Amino acid sequence: MRALILAFSLCPLVAQAPLPKGEVIPRVECTADTRFSYALYLPSGYQEDRVWPVLFGFSPVAFGEEPVRTFQKAAERFGWIVVGSNNSKNGPLRPALEASEAMWKDVQSRFKVDPRRSYGYGFSGGSRMALRLALKHPKNFAGLIAMGAFGVGGDGLLTGLGHLHFHLSCGLEDFNHWEMLEGRRELQSRGWKALADRFEGGHRAPHEGTAMAALSFLQLGAMQKGLVPLDESPESEIRRNMELQAVKAEGTLLGLRRWKELATHFPQSPEGRRAAARVAILEKEPAVVGELKLEAQYEQTARELSHMPKDAKYRQELIRHLNRLKAADPVEQRMIRCLLGVPVLNYQVALGEAFQKKAWDQLLAISTSLAALDEREGWPCIYAAISLVQLGRPGEAFAHLRSARARGYRKPDRIRALQELKPLQGQAEFEAILKEMEAVPPL
């Protein structure tokens, strides 16, 4: 009886144990359903005596720490809670929706959440989950940050979200570049509050600078709606940073778009008036006009490729653009890499399936195509070598291993551990290639 009383007396203490503030917590289990969990960042000033905005984050691979760590500094500055689902990921929709809703309910019950200031963030497929969560709870949401994807899939996935502020961004070589362009045009046509930008690189999660810019924009939106007290510092900082980024991209299509965003959002400010003047000039600049026309051509080509059967003609078309890549100027090279990104991703999925099935002929065809499509990557050459060894042609595998090394592959231990390459072990040429890899530090 005494033990039972002691157990009951301890229960409230366990339930009320405070979570650490000012640090990333990789895993917080949902109380109502412990199958689900999320990563968490509570700002160091978090108290129960007032309500707080929350950013609900989604990774395409269910890595909740990615959104939390990306937005940690911005959240600390503005006083936001950030959570990231450890379960929602690309794939079947129903499990992802269950995970999303479990996180939503747990956060609402566990923390003092502002009922009008929930926000969503997602990278790649995660952005679609952020959008769906906003659709489920539109009255609670005030903004969305979509990075690396914004496929709205028709009017149904925007219904009732006209009051939100949207921040869209992706890499300059992201294969979802075309999707982001279409999404920005859609939001613009509706007259909704949206800011779009680009950063260096391909399909990858944003750095902290992009995260800070995005959260600053949403914080400003909350001020404009009267949800938080007015503060001049975020707006003036946003204007200065937008002008600085536009100057950095001066004379390019990206520069034109950045000036347009600044002129659109802050037309009465000194920066906005300067931006409007630059837009009027750049819209007539031959180099910028040419870049805009070239982008439109590649956007149309991307649509055509997406509807082509994935047959020999399709592969020939990819190789044609690949050959064009070698002779193109840097602007066109970026567009070609955006164009080839989706086929490369599809090939990667097919490669994994062929490897699992031990379909060596198929694996050889896919790996050599991948190697041709991106000459900067060495790992497809490893799969080509595996295929050749398994097909009884080990002598041909060495050329592909050397090609992997030449492209920067520096993981000899992984190669040595591959059972599929075991027939090569002990051979002088194989050992020499691995020694060459060991002699150069990993890239």
At 310, list the tokens.
């994935």
Q: Where are the domains of the chain?
A: 16-230, 308-439
Q: What is the pLDDT of residues 269-324, one digit of tens each?
A: 999 999 999 999 999 999 999 999 999 999 999 999 889 887 878 878 887 887 78
Q: Are 362 and 394 a contacting pair, CB within 8 Å?
A: no
Phi and psi for 20 in degrees, rounded to 5? -60, 145
Going by pLDDT thresholds of 50, 70 and 90, the confidence category of residue 14 is very low
- 79's CB contacts (< 8 A; 6+ apart) are 43, 45, 46, 52, 53
CA-based torsion, 54, 59, 63, 68: positive or negative: negative
Highest mean pLDDT among 130-144, 157-171, 399-413: 130-144
> What is the architecture of the domain spanning 16-230?
3-Layer(aba) Sandwich (3.40)
What is the DSSP track for 269-298?
Answer: SHHHHHHHHHHHHHTT-HHHHHHHHHHHHH
Domains 16-230 and 308-439 in one fold: no
Kindly state the DSSP code that residue 407 receives in the 8-state scheme: T
pLDDT value at position 348? Answer: 77
Helix (H, G, I), strand (E, B) or coil at 442: coil
34-39 mean pLDDT: 97
Half-sphere exposure of 382 (CA within 13 A, CB side): 23
* Buried-exposed string 1-32: b where 16+ CB fall within 10 A, e elsewhere: eeeeeeeeeeeeeeeeeeeeeeebbeebebee
Q: What is the pLDDT of residues 178-211, one digit of tens each?
A: 999 999 999 999 999 999 999 988 888 888 999 9
- 124's CB contacts (< 8 A; 6+ apart) are 60, 90, 147, 148, 149, 176, 203
Lowest mean pLDDT among 52-66, 91-105, 429-443: 429-443
Residue 72, pLDDT > 50, answer yes
> What is the architecture of the domain spanning 308-439?
Alpha Horseshoe (1.25)
- When the pLDDT of each residue in the chain is averaged and rounded to a whole number, the result is 90
What is the DSSP track for 167-188?
Answer: EEEEETT-TTHHHHHHHHHHHH
Residue 145 β-bridge partners: 121, 167
> Which residue would you say has higher pLDDT here, 286 or 345?
286
Q: Are 202 and 194 a contacting pair, CB within 8 Å?
A: no
For the chain, percent of residues with pLDDT exceeding 70: 93
**Cα angle: 214, vertex 216, 222; to 5 degrees:** 110
- 7's CB contacts (< 8 A; 6+ apart) are none
Residue 12, pLDDT > 70, answer no
88-117 mean pLDDT: 96
